[in-house]
Structure 1
Amino acid sequence: MNYPIPANHQEIVALRNKPVDEDLIAAAIAGVITIARSEGQTLDDITAQVLADDHLLDQSQRRWLSDIVAEAWATF
């Protein structure tokens, strides 16, 4: 990966200034999982957040992203 895994919310937000590519997305997902676990959140908590309607992604995209997050959760 070309990006380090973000360790806090500020580092996640700072990713907005980077060009979007596969490595950035992977780093963001890994960072969200790392931060969520450090805050005592569960996969169910993260899944609920991903599946919540946000007007950025449609339902099928949110489900797809939820599956990716679940796979990443199991990997870490």
Structure 2
Amino acid sequence: SKPDIIVANTCVNNVGVLLNAGSGTFSAQTTYSTGGYPWAVAVVDVNSDSKPDIIVANYNDNTVSVLLAG
């Protein structure tokens, strides 16, 4: 599988996911809400379902958002 792109959109409190189309291009950004001022992003399978989940550190809230793969 080809790598996708995840972007922390700090000013609008969300992350954007751009899926790799496999032809050197990416899909339009799909956004997911986070806490205040998302700062850092990691991808890991946190619930052992063999799907990559997105973990976001939120700077203003001092919180972590967990976005489970569906």
- TM-score range normalised by the length of the shorter chain: under 0.3
**Relative contact order, CA 8 A, sep 6+: which one is greater?**
1
TM-score for the superposition, normalised by structure 2: 0.24
Q: Which has more strand, going by share of residues?
A: 2
TM-score, normalization by structure 1: 0.24
